[in-house]
Homo-oligomer: A and B are copies of this chain.
């Protein structure tokens, strides 16, 4: 019931949302990450996401699996885009459904936080003044704990 992918094409959030949900589920949550026009006070014109594709696909599948197991019978789908993105374009879409809303919120938040901690994806911002820079990220832990922690 769960799915995940690293893609180069634009993401359609409605399509990701349509991957999940069932008659047992009272709550569905869609998280959409979008390239915004500023970061740390600088005006951003666009970004490029690089990736270690084979590993990223595997890590994203693990994160989705962990979230699904933690949230009682959750249906989970996550897609991360890589390559060149313009302001307003979707970088990540995460959909979760679950019988009750608490688990769905928890699983949704878990996935985006774990993506930021350990998905091998890097972001280079292109600023309006022509400069570029790699976004300061997080150093992945060598043994990520496979449990869902508090929000």
A contact set with B: CB distance below 8 Å: 13-14, 17, 21, 23-38, 87-88, 97, 99, 101, 105, 108-109, 112, 151
Contacts and interface: CB of A to CB of B under 8 A. Distances in A.
Contacts of A34: 21, 25-28, 97
Contacts of A112: 101
Given A13-B17, A99-B36, A151-B151, A29 B26 contact: no
A105 B96 CA distance: 14
14 contacts: A14-B17, A17-B30, A17-B32, A23-B87, A23-B88, A26-B33, A26-B34, A27-B31, A27-B32, A28-B31, A28-B32, A29-B29, A33-B101, A36-B99
A137 to B, nearest CB: 15
Which 4 residue pairs of A and B lie closest in terms of their CB atoms, listed nearest first? A30-B30, A26-B36, A28-B32, A23-B37
Nearest to A94: B29
A105 B109 contact: yes
